[in-house]
A and B are shown apart, each in its own frame.
Chain A
Amino acid sequence: ERVMTQSPATLSVSPGERATLSCRASQSVSSNLAWFQQKPGQAPRLLIYGASTRATGIPARFSGSGSGTEFTLIISSLQSEDFAVYYCQQYNNWPTFGPGTKVDIK
């Protein structure tokens, strides 16, 4: 099983600022990495797949990078609707998710 970890657990950011979220895999997952956004009471929404490809309809302020075991999601200028929990998920073999990073208002 590939175990995913995320840091930090909570990130406090002011609107308009940049947010940088990290995800690490216990073994290489190549570029088989996705990022999700989840708001309270809602299903997760796919943001990024293939480590760096934005899903349909996702704004350009969301960008993903990395390969192997280290990955990053950057939100370039936080909007009010971006405050949420973000999960990474690997799909190199059977899918596993990280524990999440909560982005809240500073």
Chain B
Amino acid sequence: QVQLQESGPGLVKPSGTLSLTCAVSGGSISSDSWWSWVRQPPGKGLEWIGEIYHSGSINYNPSLKSRVSISLDKSKNQFSLNLSSVTAADTAVYYCARGLYGAKTFDLWGQGTLVTVSS
């Protein structure tokens, strides 16, 4: 079955750029699904960051739009997140997730990766 796995640095310096990748296994990233990033600060709730479709269509959370970039690599069957100008407020567990067909909710999640912003 399809599985998602996040990877990337666990520590990023303030004002730097957070970069994560989500590898899709057991299925194709070119399937009829949107692919999203969601984050969760320690002990807090969930925040949707943005999504990408294999055609290249992208949507971002308006509150993060100026700092976020999501891209997709079909050859590697993965998609990526870049978040620039990070501060301690960006410390969170970052999840990649698959969109449920026909609804902007999420039926498959990666295990999540903790990214800490600290000097």
> Do they bind each other?
yes
A: residues with CB less than 8 A from B are 1, 32, 34, 36, 42-46, 49-50, 55-56, 87, 89, 91, 94-100
Please report whether the interface of chain B is mostly helix, strand, loop or mixed according to DSSP: loop
Verify B103–A32 contact, CB threshold 8 A: yes
With A56-B107, A100-B45 known, 18 other A-B pairs at CB within 8 A are: A1-B63, A36-B46, A43-B110, A44-B95, A44-B109, A46-B100, A46-B106, A46-B107, A49-B100, A87-B45, A87-B46, A91-B105, A94-B48, A94-B59, A94-B61, A95-B105, A97-B45, A99-B45
Number of A-B contacts (CB under 8 A): 55
Nearest CB on B from A46, distance (A): 5
How long is the Cα–Cα vector from A96 to B48 in the complex, in angstroms?
Answer: 7
How long is the Cα–Cα vector from A42 to B100 in the complex, in angstroms?
Answer: 19
B: residues with CB less than 8 A from A are 45-48, 59, 61-63, 95, 97, 100, 103-107, 109-112
In the assembled complex, 24 residue pairs joining A and B whose CB atoms fall closer than 8 Å, in A order, are A1-B63, A34-B103, A34-B105, A43-B95, A43-B109, A43-B112, A44-B46, A46-B105, A49-B105, A49-B107, A50-B103, A56-B107, A87-B46, A89-B46, A91-B105, A94-B48, A94-B61, A95-B104, A95-B105, A96-B48, A97-B47, A97-B48, A98-B45, A100-B45
